[in-house]
Chains A and B, each alone.
Chain A
């Protein structure tokens, strides 16, 4: 997956932004740029990208791994011993990437740790520090064909894993049991390690981020919200299941959420602002009288990160372009009763949005 075309694009943006360098934290920004990232922990670690050259500051414990992954790649590695601290390595990296050891305006990843920001201030004495999203956001938001293909494969893994979760729903199984069945399936279908598998049954489903616990799956509604990272790219999918026969009220709520999901998809067109997707979905739910029970944004971008820009919410006026990918996931949550959410990943095209999941939006009815 290693390609220096991404690195070149980041370098071009550094030059265009008129900053000395961008310092990217291990995690999504580095994964996007190099197709590889050292693990992030309390030790300082940055990919320092100047207009022409790049260098990686990495703690000694991860140096070998970085050497192996970046062999032949135009990134100089500066590792440091734990007791020496990162300051000298940071200076050398900045020198290699920019020809200067201190000063200038630098950009630092939005997700960088507070203490690492202070290390950057101390070691590099920049004139100003700003958010790296200034240059990374426009690059990461618009996916190329290969990235979209990876998102499709990741989505396929989520579709298959939803099936594994439904198969596990049987008398006596707990939320945790369904969680574990989905986790195992994600491992089987080749996720890169990071995966998330939430399930909420009955009244638990009225909390949009309920964490799976020992609640037994009885008769009633539930949602499964799951996703993984595969070949560096993420999936995120929510579908409903119902053990027993859904009643008319449940069907009505489900119907409203599905209508909102479709309205969001209709608005997910090149030229519209991201907020239009939220407005379209929210309008359906408000018109039905459930506006107070739709307690979150309609969606979030997705790529190397599970959540990234743009955000489908009021105030995000990012103009949608072909290649942007994001969730559309309206929901209605009735406290003490149940919640319904339907989540799909949409890809903006020149025409109607492409929806990645091949699953039906209907609730899966599991016989008692």
Chain B
């Protein structure tokens, strides 16, 4: 399962950065590097160390069985440690295996690594300097190969199916939480890897872009679902609005503006453009319609083994888009106390127009 090719690319980038080794924290960076596996992350030190001479995984004893089973015989040596001993010795051995020496040099550590783990690294490995591992991981993780795009499509299909099941569960009186649970069950049945989220907002709650589903009952009015899962290591993220009853003119107007913004974003999602061009294109539509101040977030975020990763579709992110980059385009308009509309799709940059993963219609779902 572990791909030598990915480890080799990480190693090459690390050398270009003049680093002795890259230390990747359990979680997304390790999931990417090992092609679909990461030990569980908790307060215990857990890192994949990649250097010029090899790769080694530091893992607490409680997770050692799984790590040995999946990694032994491959390019990654596993060093496990007992809780009472702490991870210090294992870290030093791992750095020695990966780079030839146990201390010193410049190390790159995952952006998401915990503060206390960074301190442990500083204390135990006494590096000359510590930088962010994103210098190495960002360019690699941003551009997806064909297999990664396939996995993103499979995760997207699960979100499409789950959206449909969520819509089936809508009736007057059902709570946001019940709709959340129906979609959670759907993601489990469709084989998500455990991580999933199912945002539901009804009525004035839709005006908060990150509203948490609560006991609010659904009656007549605006609704959105913002859902996604991780499947085979790769994520989906999908938002569609719906309306219970007969939508009023302003909802339909706002929906059309957001849809136009979403389409403008996709039009700008072309190889050679900067990421911020996607934001500018979508935002211009909303600003021109007079709702600029109600679009309170960036237009999108990269997606892969993480739900949110570079590039970010916002002013200031001038990453030049390349074929294989995958990100959300999700403009929205939020009218406080009233309602909000967001339409979110995942786009893949190609040599031509962007490929949109969801096969769902972009019109609002209207439920009588």
Please give the residue numbers on chain A whose beta carbons come within 8 Å of chain B beta carbons, in ascending order.
Answer: 39, 41-42, 59-65, 68, 81-83, 85, 108-115, 117-118, 131, 133, 180, 183-184, 187, 193, 206-211, 278, 295-297, 307-308, 311, 313-315, 333, 335
Q: Mark B161-201 against chain A: 1 for CB-CB distance below 8 A, else 0.
A: 00000000000000000000100110010000010000000
A315-B84, A333-B65 given; name 9 further pairs at CB < 8 Å.
Answer: A42-B111, A42-B306, A64-B336, A82-B298, A110-B43, A131-B119, A187-B181, A313-B83, A315-B86
Q: How far is the CB of A133 from chain B (nearest CB, A)?
A: 7
B208–A295 CB distance below 8 A: no
Q: How far is the CB of A193 from chain B (nearest CB, A)?
A: 8
B253 within 8 A of A: no
B184–A65 CB distance below 8 A: no
CB-contact partner of A113 in B40, B65, B113, under 8 A: B113
* Given contact pairs A114-B115, A297-B83, A311-B83, A83 touches B210 in the complex (Cβ within 8 A): no
Q: Please give me the residue from chain B that is nearest to A275 by CB atom.
A: B84
Q: How far is the CB of A277 from chain B (nearest CB, A)?
A: 13
A114–B63 CB distance below 8 A: no
Stretch at the interface among B147-155, B308-316, B344-352: B308-316
CB-contact partner of A111 in B111, B116, B209, under 8 A: B116
Q: How far is the CB of A366 from chain B (nearest CB, A)?
A: 23
Chain B residues, Cβ within 8 Å of A118 = 132
Q: Mark B104-139 against chain A: 1 for CB-CB distance below 8 A, else 0.
A: 000001111111101100000000000010100000
B365 within 8 A of A: no
Task: Determine the distance from Cα of A333 to Cα of B66 in the docked complex, in whole angstroms.
Answer: 13
B134–A115 CB distance below 8 A: yes
Chain A residues, Cβ within 8 Å of B212 = 65, 193
B94 within 8 A of A: no
Chain B residues, Cβ within 8 Å of A307 = 42-43
* Given contact pairs A113-B111, A133-B116, A335 touches B65 in the complex (Cβ within 8 A): yes
B62–A117 CB distance below 8 A: no
Q: How far is the CB of A2 from chain B (nearest CB, A)?
A: 16
Please give the residue numbers on chain B whose beta carbons come within 8 Å of chain A beta carbons, in ascending order.
Answer: 40, 42-43, 60-66, 69, 82-84, 86, 109-116, 118-119, 132, 134, 181, 184-185, 188, 194, 207-212, 279, 296-298, 306, 308-309, 312, 314-316, 334, 336
Task: Determine the distance from Cα of A62 to Cα of B298 in the docked complex, in whole angstroms.
Answer: 12
Chain A residues, Cβ within 8 Å of B40 = 209, 211
CB-contact partner of B84 in A187, A210, A313, under 8 A: A313
A131–B297 CB distance below 8 A: no
B185–A296 CB distance below 8 A: no
Q: Please give me the residue from chain A that is nearest to B118 by CB atom.
A: A114
CB-contact partner of A115 in B112, B211, B279, B334, under 8 A: B112
Q: Please give me the residue from chain B that is nearest to A311 by CB atom.
A: B83
Q: Please give me the residue from chain B that is nearest to A180 by CB atom.
A: B188
A83–B66 CB distance below 8 A: no
Q: Please give me the residue from chain A that is nearest to B84 by CB atom.
A: A314
* Given contact pairs A83-B314, A206-B65, A297-B83, A64 touches B208 in the complex (Cβ within 8 A): yes
* Given contact pairs A297-B83, A297-B84, A307-B43, A61 touches B64 in the complex (Cβ within 8 A): no
CB-contact partner of B210 in A39, A111, A187, A296, under 8 A: A39
B114–A83 CB distance below 8 A: no
A111–B114 CB distance below 8 A: yes
A-B contact pairs, 15 of them (CB 8 A): A42-B308, A64-B334, A64-B336, A81-B296, A108-B115, A113-B112, A114-B109, A114-B113, A114-B132, A115-B134, A295-B64, A296-B83, A307-B43, A314-B84, A315-B86
Q: Please give me the residue from chain B that is nearest to A176 by CB atom.
A: B188
Q: Please give me the residue from chain B that is nearest to A204 by CB atom.
A: B65
A115–B111 CB distance below 8 A: yes
Chain B residues, Cβ within 8 Å of A208 = 62, 65
Chain B residues, Cβ within 8 Å of A111 = 43, 114-116
Chain B residues, Cβ within 8 Å of A68 = 208
Chain B residues, Cβ within 8 Å of A81 = 296
Q: How far is the CB of A43 from chain B (nearest CB, A)?
A: 8
Task: Determine the distance from Cα of A315 to Cα of B86 in the docked complex, in whole angstroms.
Answer: 10
Chain A residues, Cβ within 8 Å of B86 = 315
A209–B116 CB distance below 8 A: no
Task: Determine the distance from Cα of A180 to Cα of B315 in the docked complex, in whole angstroms.
Answer: 42
Chain A residues, Cβ within 8 Å of B336 = 64
A61–B185 CB distance below 8 A: no
Task: Determine the distance from Cα of A251 to Cα of B306 in the docked complex, in whole angstroms.
Answer: 44
Query: Could you say which of B83, B86, B306, B308 has the most chain A C-beta atoms within 10 Å of its C-beta?
Result: B83
Chain B residues, Cβ within 8 Å of A83 = 279, 298, 314-316
Q: Please give me the residue from chain B that is nearest to A193 by CB atom.
A: B212
Chain A residues, Cβ within 8 Å of B306 = 42
Q: How far is the CB of A333 from chain B (nearest CB, A)?
A: 8
Task: Determine the distance from Cα of A82 to Cα of B316 in the docked complex, in whole angstroms.
Answer: 9
Task: Determine the distance from Cα of A308 to Cα of B296 in the docked complex, in whole angstroms.
Answer: 36
* Given contact pairs A82-B312, A131-B115, A311-B83, A65 touches B65 in the complex (Cβ within 8 A): no
Q: How far is the CB of B122 from chain A (nearest CB, A)?
A: 11
A113–B83 CB distance below 8 A: no
* Given contact pairs A64-B336, A83-B315, A180-B188, A295 touches B114 in the complex (Cβ within 8 A): no
Task: Determine the distance from Cα of A180 to Cα of B69 in the docked complex, in whole angstroms.
Answer: 25
Q: How far is the CB of B162 from chain A (nearest CB, A)?
A: 15
B61–A296 CB distance below 8 A: yes
CB-contact partner of A184 in B69, B185, B312, under 8 A: B185
A183–B209 CB distance below 8 A: no
Q: How far is the CB of B187 from chain A (nearest CB, A)?
A: 11
Q: How far is the CB of B31 from chain A (nearest CB, A)?
A: 14
Q: How far is the CB of A329 from chain B (nearest CB, A)?
A: 11
Q: Please give me the residue from chain A that is nearest to B130 by CB atom.
A: A114
Q: Please give me the residue from chain A that is nearest to B121 by CB atom.
A: A114
Task: Determine the distance from Cα of A62 to Cα of B199 in the docked complex, in whole angstroms.
Answer: 14
